């Protein structure tokens, strides 16, 4: 994968970027990657505990795809940082909670299969729309990662939206359970479109995705499936955000103490 290019439409080679530009690009990449990292971690917790062997395998598959994407993003972010001590693993395991930039949605717990699927569904729709735009980025590395990820995330979306239909239009119990999860997790959807400073700087450079343009189509995309699944579309006007600025829910500390356990207990070792 290359990240340097001299064509007119492409972003500056790393060596020609100012420190501020590099910093923004670095933060921008982490903002994308951390969503996949934390969602992948949450799905990984479920491996071996799914409602059926088939769903277990599918959930693990999605987790694997997300971690694969994380590695590509972090390897690139490490390169952008210009600091030799930064690696994919220091980025994954050695930051403090306030430095993680994932949205609140992905850190929500695996309350039951309904919550797990709704969390996935609400994220997948955004993720797919986002990657389709990121593929057009002037940054060739990000564009290449997006291109590869689109194939995977199209499958994630198909999997989660199919399950929304099954659970919504299945039994009365499944309908109630999945409706509750939709209603509860809805308040985390707006944050997906919240733009940080790094986001805005990257949009201006032609590297980042202008997520404000994706919002309407996102809500239409998920509403169509919810309707088909005979579920009510929540009318809640109150939303939560903060994850992108590193202000997370109380769940995040526990995710990190689990995820960082080895690196914190045995620092500076290779595994």
Partner 1 sequence: MSEKEVKNLEEIFEARIARDEKIEPKDWMPEKYRKTHIRQISQHAHSEIVGMLPEGNWISRAPSLRRKVALLAKVQDEAGHGLYLYSACETLGISRNELYEQLHSGKAKYSSIFNYPTVTWADMGAIGWLVDGAAIINQVPLCSTSYGPYARAMVRVCKEESFHQRQGFEIMLKLANGTPEQKEMAQDALNRWWWPSLMMLGPTDAESVHTEQSMKWKLKRKTNDELRQQFIDQTVPQADLLGLTIPDPDLKWNEETGHYDFGNINWDEFWQVVKGHGPCNKERMNARVGAWKRGAWVRDAAMAYAEKKEARKKVSKAS
| Residue ranges that bind partner 1, judged by CB under 8 A | 41, 44-45, 47-57, 60-61, 63-64, 67-68, 70-71, 74, 88-89, 92-93, 112-113, 165-167, 169-171, 173-174, 177, 258-259, 261-263, 266, 269-271
Q: Shortest Cβ distance from residue 147 to partner 1 (Å)?
A: 20
Q: Shortest Cβ distance from residue 159 to partner 1 (Å)?
A: 13
DSSP string, 161-209: HHHHHHHHTS-HHHHHHHHHHHHHHGGGSGGGG---HHHHHHHHTTSS-
- Residue among 51 and 253 whose Cβ is closer to partner 1: 51
Q: Which residues contact 75 (CB under 8 A, 6 or more apart)?
A: 88
Provide the 8-state DSSP code for 241: -
- Residue among 238 and 271 whose Cβ is closer to partner 1: 271
Q: Which helix (H) or strand (E) holds 234?
A: none
Contact call for residues 133 and 140 (beta carbons, < 8 A): no
- Residue among 16 and 54 whose Cβ is closer to partner 1: 54
Residue with tokens 């009318």: 235
**d(C-alpha 255, C-alpha 146), whole Å:** 26
- Residue among 38 and 207 whose Cβ is closer to partner 1: 38
Q: Shortest Cβ distance from residue 117 to partner 1 (Å)?
A: 9
H helix and E strand count, the chain:
11, 0
Q: Which value, in Å, is the radius of gyration of the alpha carbons in the chain?
A: 19
Q: Shortest Cβ distance from residue 80 to partner 1 (Å)?
A: 17
Contact call for residues 141 and 11 (beta carbons, < 8 A): no
Q: Shortest Cβ distance from residue 84 to partner 1 (Å)?
A: 18
Which burial class, exposed, middle or buried, applies to 203 when counting CB atoms under 10 A from its CB (0-12, 13-18, 19+)?
middle
- Residue among 10 and 60 whose Cβ is closer to partner 1: 60
**d(C-alpha 70, C-alpha 37), whole Å:** 6
Find, among 247, 250, 270, the residue nearest to 101 by Cα: 247
Neighbours of 13 (CB within 10 A): 12
Q: Shortest Cβ distance from residue 136 to partner 1 (Å)?
A: 27
- Residue among 175 and 241 whose Cβ is closer to partner 1: 175
Q: Shortest Cβ distance from residue 266 to partner 1 (Å)?
A: 6
- Residue among 78 and 104 whose Cβ is closer to partner 1: 78
- Residue among 86 and 187 whose Cβ is closer to partner 1: 86
């Amino acid at each position: 994968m290359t990240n340097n290019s001299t064509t007119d439409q492409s972003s500056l080679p790393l060596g020609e970027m100012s420190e501020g530009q590099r910093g923004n690009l670095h933060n921008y990449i982490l903002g994308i990657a951390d969503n996949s990292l934390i969602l992948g971690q949450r799905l990984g917790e479920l491996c071996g505990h799914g409602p059926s062997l088939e769903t277990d395998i599918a959930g693990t598959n999605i987790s694997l795809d997300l971690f694969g994407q994380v590695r590509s993003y972090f390897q690139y972010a490490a390169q952008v940082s210009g600091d030799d001590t930064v690696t994919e693993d220091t980025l994954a395991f050695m930051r403090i909670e306030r430095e993680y930039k994932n949205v609140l949605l992905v850190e929500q717990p695996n309350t039951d299969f309904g919550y797990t699927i709704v969390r996935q569904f609400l994220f997948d729709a955004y993720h797919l729309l986002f990657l389709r735009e990121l593929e057009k980025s002037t940054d060739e590395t990000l564009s290449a990662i997006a291109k590869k990820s689109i194939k995977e995330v199209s499958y994630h979306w198909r999997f989660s939206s199919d399950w929304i239909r099954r659970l919504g239009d299945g039994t009365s119990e499944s309908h109630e359970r999945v409706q509750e999860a939709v209603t509860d997790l809805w308040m985390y959807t707006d944050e997906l479109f919240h733009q940080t400073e790094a986001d805005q700087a990257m949009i201006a450079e032609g590297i980042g995705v202008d997520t404000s343009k994706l919002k309407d189509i996102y809500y239409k995309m998920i509403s169509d499936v919810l309707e088909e699944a005979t579920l009510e579309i929540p009318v809640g006007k109150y939303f939560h955000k903060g994850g992108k600025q590193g202000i997370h829910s109380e769940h995040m500390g526990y995710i990190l103490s689990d995820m960082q356990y080895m690196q914190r207990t045995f620092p500076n070792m290779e595994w």
